[in-house]
Structure 1
Amino acid sequence: MAKRNKLTQRQKRQVSSNLKKRLTSSDSGPADDTLMPSQAGLVVGRFGQHADVEDEQGKVHRCNMRRNISSVVCGDQVLFRPGKDQTLTVSGVIEAVEDRKSVLTRPDYYDGIKPVAANIDQIIVVSAVVPALSLNIIDRYLVAAEDVHIEPIILLNKVDMLDEQQHKEVQEQLALYRDIGYRVLLVSCKSGQGMDELAALLKDKTSVFVGQSGVGKSSLINQLLPDAEEAIGDISDNSGLGQHTTTAAKLLRFPGGGSLIDSPGVREFSLWHLPEGRLTWGFIEFREFLGGCKFRDCKHRDDPGCLLRDAVGTGQISQQRFDSYHKILAGMAEQRPSYSKPPK
């Protein structure tokens, strides 16, 4: 079992206050006299209004949440009270959530910024040659990872479908990411290529797969964890896109150490909530030039004295990434809800 972090004094006070409060009729969960003493746990599943919490002995308890807890996601370390009657489907209550060392979030049109998974060490950006390799989509996920300060790793799946020439072309396309410091891994569930290297990268880490439907995330999980029994979706004949298969968030453990969070909330990420400056910062090779343009409000297009455009001209920034940046910027304006003011 992973070692639990000790609660801070503030968290202990919060828990103590929660334990003293009587449940009201509008509060979800069982009465206090049906609960056992508080203990530490790890959220390993999220199902609607309930969460599965694993205790330090490895037993999983399905729990309600106190009304004062704003959110609970897979990977959260919590303090909870198991139910005395273990025959009930839902018998425990989560009392408090420990501070998160990292949190993966996504924007929601109605609820603002929503957490998806917590205490993550690395984000595995999964793409594939089928339905299609899109560098722009990879760039979007990289920006999302940079925004929350979680290390991303680029994984290209289904490489067994490439012939020799296509394989060479893909390597050339992905070389630009290696050149700017990202790790890139080519894998195939069918041939086994790269799977040992992937397993080594996941060992003793808490990871999350992100990527569009159809890129083979479930197949990768089944290959890494045969007992996971992840549902695998087909590619739609009409759209050429993958079918959604994951329906509930869960944390899966590797026998040799480490865990993987699988969540339907990480299929796609919109970036409309980011200020333009934050998007620009999310392109890591841009950073050394930021703040040096002639005009403070430089749009990095045809503005005179633009250092980014000059860097493209000298080969310090790739034209592909520069074009992708502007494509994402244009898409943010289109996706932003009408009620949302443009970020400053």
Structure 2
Amino acid sequence: MNALVYKSTGSWYVVKNENGEFFNARIKGKLKIDNITSTNPVAVGDIVDVDQEDTEDGDMVITNIHDRKNYITRQSPHNKHQHHIIASNLDQSLLFATLKDPKTSQGFIDRFLVASEAYHVPAIIVFNKSDLYKKKELDKFEELKFIYERNGYKVLSMSLAQHTGIDEVKDLLKNKTTLLSGHSGVGKSSFINIVFPELLLKTQNVSDWSGKGLHTTTFAEMFDLPISGKIIDTPGLREFALMDIEKNELSHYFPEMRALVNECRFNNCMHIDEPGCAVKQAVEEGKISADRYVSYVNILGTIDTKKW
């Protein structure tokens, strides 16, 4: 039978079948996963085939993964040669960021946006804790909002403490499968608990199904929303190292650079020190944010040219 993966613990998975029933399941044998060397062969959001083993225990086993519409992956924090698939089959990604307590760096934001672009997942940025912002942070928010919105990204401001901006974010989730991501402490879990308090009980129930002594905050988990739609809550990310992005294609994942790459003098322009570079000229003219260009250069410097 077909089922949808709601939680992955690395060994056991919580899946939901077409009748709305939840089961524990494990992997049987080696599964074909699009030639990806991954630390988690089955990801939250995957559609899988599940069968019951003809054994005394009668365990449910995952025998096949259906083709993914898309996914977001990053470098495994434990093995730089392997992927860690964060989630699959997404309609959009929503990055929670903060300008204070804790401060989300623009470099982290840009890495997340590059991953979303590379894997064809529309991205939204939500700056939380706006109640803490003083003039410095308010000015920075307006600057970032301008930078990202002119490049096609939706940018929102929200304060859970003052209950402002929440409905606008909530409306974006209707009828969508949305990945929620961000550093620890930016308010992802608080947002879920405030807007969908009924999910608190469901969180406990899922833990009962799949717990086996595992910490519930360690793994990504999907929830059905009462407003119709699904959210995938992820553990707080300390860093976001990219995978499978070539140096010569990185600029294509910056929309403002992608629009200009054909105007550079050289087809293989890396936009660093080449003459006749349209991207560098746009930076000098203020048409491309200098901070975004710095992010591009920094990310370029971390891309390993080796093939694995």
TM-score, normalised to structure 1, is: 0.75
- Structure 1 letter corresponding to 2:89: N
Superposed CA offset, 1:143-166 (max 9, x none)? 110010100001111111113563
Query: Paired residue for 1:63, among 18, 25, 29?
Result: 25
The amino acid across from 2:69 in the alignment is K
Structure 2 matches for 1:1-344, cutoff 5 A? 39-70=1-32, 71-82=41-52, 91-108=59-76, 109=79, 112-129=82-99, 130-163=101-134, 166-229=137-200, 246-264=217-235, 268-271=239-242, 273-330=244-301, 332-333=302-303, 336=304, 341=306
CA-to-aligned-CA distance 1:111-165 (integer Å, 9 cap, x gap):
5233221111101111112211422221111111001010000111111111356
Secondary structure in 2 aligned to 1:209? strand
Indicate how the Cα distance of structure 1 residues 56 and 265 shifts in structure 2: closer, same or farther if over 3 A, else same.
farther
CA contact (8 A) 1:42 1:55 kept: yes
Offset at residue 197 of structure 1 (A): 0.7
- Following superposition, the deviation at residue 245 of structure 1 comes to 8.1
Cα deviation, residue 258, structure 1? 0.5
Q: Deviations over 1:293-324 (max 9, x none)?
A: 22344332332211111112233212221122
Superimposed CA distance per residue, residues 164-184 of structure 1 (whole angstroms, 9 cap, x where no aligned partner): 563244222321111121100
5+ residue gaps, structure 2, are 33-40, 205-214
Report the CA distance between 1:227 and its aligned residue. 3.5
Distance 1:226 1:95, change over 3 A: same
Structure 1 stretches lacking a partner, 5+ long? 1-38, 232-243
Q: 1:96 to 1:266 in 2, by over 3 A?
A: farther
Query: SS where residue 226 of structure 1 aligns?
Result: coil
- Measure the CA separation in 2 of the matches of 1:95 and 1:272: 27
Q: Please list the CA deviations of residues 256-305 of structure 1 after superposition, one character each: whole Å capped at 9, or x if unmatched.
A: 10111123386532126421122211110111211332234433233221
**Cα distance in 2 between the residues matched to 1:155 and 1:91:** 41
* Aligned equivalents of 1:187, 1:176: Cα separation in 2: 18
**2:228 aligned counterpart, secondary structure:** coil
Contact 2:179–2:231 under 8 Å retained in 1: yes
C-alpha RMSD of matched pairs (Å): 2.7
- Residue pair 2:104, 2:183 contacting (<8 A) in 1 also: no
Relative to structure 1, the CA distance from residue 170 to residue 265 in structure 2 (aligned partners, 3 Å threshold; closer, same or farther) is closer
Distance 2:131 2:138 in 1: 9
1:83/1:220 CA distance change after superposition, 3 Å = farther
Aligned residue for 1:68, secondary structure, equals coil
Note the C-alpha offset of 1:198: 0.8
Q: In structure 2, the residue corresponding to 1:291 is in which secondary structure?
A: helix
SS in 1 for 2:120: coil
Asked if structure 1 preserves the Cα contact closer than 8 Å seen for 2:108 and 2:239, the reply is: no
Of all paired residues, the percent bearing the same amino acid is 35
Aligned 8 A contact 1:147 1:278 in 2: no
- Please report how far the alpha carbon of residue 85 of structure 1 lies from its aligned counterpart in structure 2 after TM superposition: 10
Q: Which structure is richer in relative contact order (CA contacts within 8 A, separation 6 or more)?
A: 2
| Structure 1 range deviating more: 212-221 or 122-131 | 212-221
Q: Match of 2:146, as an amino acid?
A: A
TM-score (norm 2): 0.83
Quote how far apart the aligned CAs of 1:40 are.
Answer: 1.8
* 1: CA distance, partners of 2:60 / 2:29: 14
